[in-house]
Structure 1
C-alpha cells in the first residue's frame, strides 16, 4: 500500500507538470550568443510566436493554419495531447485500483486496474518525452547548422519541465506495475495452502475414528495363521 501511494504521488505530479507544459510560452527563446545590444527577444511555443521589445511589451501572433505548420510542431502537439489524456485516465484508474480505496472489487481485480493505470502513466511519460525531445532536436539542429542564417534559438524552460514530468510519470507508472506482484503472490500461496489442507484432511478422514491415531502403531500381520490372511487382504493398501 505504501508503494502504491508513493507511485500515485509521483505519477500524478508528473502528469500535472506535463499538463502545465502544453500551454507554456517559452518552448524556445532567441539566442543572445554573439549579440552586444539586445533590442528584442523572440520566443515561441506550440501555438504562437511572440516578440518582446526592450520596454517589456510583447506582441504575439497565433499560427494562422494548422495544416501549414511544420511537421515537428504538429507531431509535438499530438504527442502532448495524447500524454495529457493518458495521464488523466491513468490517475482515475489508479484511484480505483489502489488498496487504500474501497472500490474496485477484490484484491486481484484492483491489482489488474492498478497495473493498467501504471501502463497509462508510462505511455503518457513516453509521449511527453518524445515530444520534448523532438522539439529540442529541431532547435539544436538549427543552432549548430553553419549554413542556417535564420534566427538562432535555445531551449526554453517548458522543455525542462516537460522532461521532468515525463520521468516522474515513467517512474510512478513502473512502481504501480511492480506493486501488483505481491497481490498475485499472496493469492497463489493462499490457494496452495487450501489445496494441501483439503488433501491432508481427506486422507485422514478415510480412516475410522478409532484407527486414525494408531495407523503407524499397528502390529505386523501373522502370516502363519490362515484366519489372519483375510484380515490382511482387507488392509493390504493401507
Structure 2
C-alpha cells in the first residue's frame, strides 16, 4: 500500500509542477471586463510578463512590462535505484522532496491568491477609474496545480512516516546463508547388511 501511495504522490507532484509551469506562461491571468460597457472595442488581457490588447477585428498587440519593480506589489521512490538501495535513505529523500513540493504548492497558492485579491479589490472599488479586470483561466489552473503539488507532497511525506513505523527486520534484506543439509554417511562394509547377504564379489 505504501508503494502505491508513494507512486501516486510522485505523479501528483509531477503533474502539479507541470501545471504550474503552464500557468506561468499562460497569457490570461486577468481579462478586462465588459461590465458597464455599452460598446467594447477591444479586450485587454495580462499575465506576469506582458499585456495584450485585441481589437474588434481580432488583431492582438502585445507589449512586455518594462520593469518588474514598476508593477503592483506581489508576494525518491523504492522502484528506482537513484540514491542507493537503502530504504531509510530513500524514505528521507522522499520526505524532503515532499516537503519541497508542499512549499512550492503553498508559494503558488499564495501568489495566485494575492493576484486574484488585487483583481477583485479593484473590481469592487467604486473609486477605481482604471480598467477593471476579471479572474482569468490561468488563475484557476494555478490553484489546481498548487493543490495537486500540496497533496502529492503530503502523500510523499506520509509514506516516509509509514516507512519509519515498519518493522526494521522486515525492511532490511536478509543476508544470504548457505544451506546446511546433513548428508547421509556411507555405511561401512561391516555395518551394511547387503554386503553380508551377497558377498563382496557380487559387486565386482
Query: What does residue range 46-195 of structure 1 map to in structure 2 within 5 Å?
Result: 46-72=48-74, 75=75, 97-105=76-84, 106-188=86-168
Unaligned runs of 5+ in 2: 172-204
What are the residue-to-residue correspondences of 1:216-235 with 2, within 5 Å?
A: none
Give the distance between the partners of 2:78 and 2:54, measured in 1 at CA: 51
SS, match of residue 71 in structure 1: coil
> What is the TM-score when the length of structure 1 is the normalising length?
0.67
Unaligned runs of 5+ in 1: 76-96, 192-238
Q: Deviations over 1:168-210 (max 9, x none)?
A: 000000000001123212244669xxxxxxxxxxxxxxxxxxx
Higher relative contact order (CA 8 A, sep 6+): 2
For residue 25 of structure 2, give the secondary structure of its aligned residue in structure 1. Answer: coil
Alpha-carbon distance in 1 for matches of 2:66, 2:81: 49
Greater share of residues in helix = 1
Residue 16 of structure 1 aligns to a residue whose secondary structure is helix
Once residues 145 and 112 of structure 1 are traced to their aligned partners in structure 2, the CA distance between those partners, rounded to angstroms, is: 49
Deviation at 1:37, TM superposition (A): 2.2
Trace 1:34-49 onto structure 2 (pairs within 5 A): 34-49=36-51
Cα displacement string for residues 103-162 of structure 1 (whole angstroms, at most 9, x for unaligned residues): 323100000000000001000100100110010000000000011111110000110000
How many residue pairs get aligned? The number is 168
SS at match of 1:101: coil
RMSD: 1.5
C-alpha deviation, 1:61, in angstroms: 1.2
